[in-house]
Amino acid sequence: MLQLPVKGCIAALPLYGGQHVFLYTMEGSIFDLKEFLDEKVALYNQPGFIEKDPICIPHSFTNAGDIEISGFFAAVLAWGNRTSIINSSRKIMGWMDNAPHQFITQHKETDLKRFLYFAHRTFNTTDLLYFIHLLSQHYRQYASLEDAFVPGPKYNEANVGEALVHFHNYFFSVEHPERTKKHIATPARNSACKRLNMYLRWMVRKDNKGVDFGLWHKISPSQLICPLDVHVASAANRLGLLPSNKADWKNAVGLTALLQQLNPADPAIYDYALFGLGMAERY
């Protein structure tokens, strides 16, 4: 069993506004680390976090179908500047008449002209039109996008790795542009699958803090993998939770295994803490 670091150390961790916080962990003081991370979770897992984060896009809706579709697009586009991510996501939602579920299930071919010439970093019109096509096909057969991750009544694996592999294979099970495959990650290629794990956190985690939605029930919060990018990996590395800054599937699973020792039922809750610490590196 993996063990959390317990050797004494002092770590200077940057926060917003150029401030730093110093964490001292003494021999055997795993509880100090938990207390520190829980404090950071409380700082970010609250409604004030929503406005400037891509999760504000699904929070614009109340219907479950609208939430999961808008959230999916926001998560897929979630790399780079957060303002740009939010603006691009809102543009797509506007073209869907701010009724994404209705648009996906009822649009006509002529309605797709408005999506021409879209680009967000390397995600372009070709990718966007395929996403719309695949989602339209999916919602003709299923009520929720959850069924694309978990085809059965309940997910019984230790973590969501198999669900992510299934989703990737399902998403490209019909004729598709080869270039579009790079926008849906898979653990089969040792990708950390940061954006999909973030999306699953939004849809699966359940608490009363008002940020995550908890709409899906086939997957348990205990099965989630903590979203991992280079900034989160760097923060985790400085805390002694990762041996390197590498954002890949192996490190994402290893980090989550350690976080499960702090909160077995909900390890992905510490995404808030590590994200907040990692984001500080960007400013």
Q: What is the pLDDT of residues 210-222, one digit of tens each?
A: 999 999 999 999 9
- Over range 178-194, report the average pLDDT: 98
Over 80: is that where the pLDDT of 283 sits? no
Cβ proximity of 151 and 171 under 8 Å: no
Mean predicted lDDT score pLDDT of the chain: 90
Q: Which residue has the tokens 């985790």?
A: 236
Over 50: is that where the pLDDT of 112 sits? yes
Complete DSSP assignment for 74-117:
HHHT-SS-HHHHHHHHHHHHHHTTT-HHHHHHH--GGGGGGGTT
Q: What is the pLDDT of residue 280?
A: 57
When pLDDT is cut at 50, 70 and 90, the band that residue 21 belongs to is very low
Per the model's pLDDT, the better-predicted residue between 280 and 234 turns out to be 234
Per the model's pLDDT, the better-predicted residue between 31 and 186 turns out to be 186
When pLDDT is cut at 50, 70 and 90, the band that residue 80 belongs to is confident
Q: What is the pLDDT of residue 19?
A: 35
- Over range 52-80, report the average pLDDT: 97
pLDDT tens-place string over residues 263-276: 999 999 999 999 99
When pLDDT is cut at 50, 70 and 90, the band that residue 26 belongs to is very low
Under the phi-then-psi rule, with left for phi > 0, alpha for psi from -120 to 50, and beta for the rest, what region is 78?
A: beta
Over 60: is that where the pLDDT of 14 sits? no
**Helix or strand holding residue 25 (H, E):** strand 20-25
When pLDDT is cut at 50, 70 and 90, the band that residue 181 belongs to is very high
Q: What is the pLDDT of residue 31?
A: 72
Nearest-CA neighbor of 280 among 232, 217, 225?
Answer: 232
How far is Cα 174 from Cα 169, in angstroms, rounded to an integer?
Answer: 10
Could you count the other beta carbons within 10 Å of the beta carbon of residue 102? 15
Is residue 6 helix, strand or coil?
A: coil
Dihedral Cα 129, 132, 134, 139, nearest 10 deg: -170
When pLDDT is cut at 50, 70 and 90, the band that residue 279 belongs to is confident
pLDDT tens-place string over residues 138-178: 999 999 999 999 999 999 999 999 999 999 999 999 999 99
pLDDT tens-place string over residues 32-45: 899 999 999 999 99
When pLDDT is cut at 50, 70 and 90, the band that residue 29 belongs to is low
Nearest-10 crossing angle of helices 230-238, 271-279: 100
Would you kindly state where each structural domain of the chain is located, as residue ranges? 9-44+226-282, 62-203
Q: What is the pLDDT of residue 212?
A: 98
Q: What is the pLDDT of residue 140?
A: 97
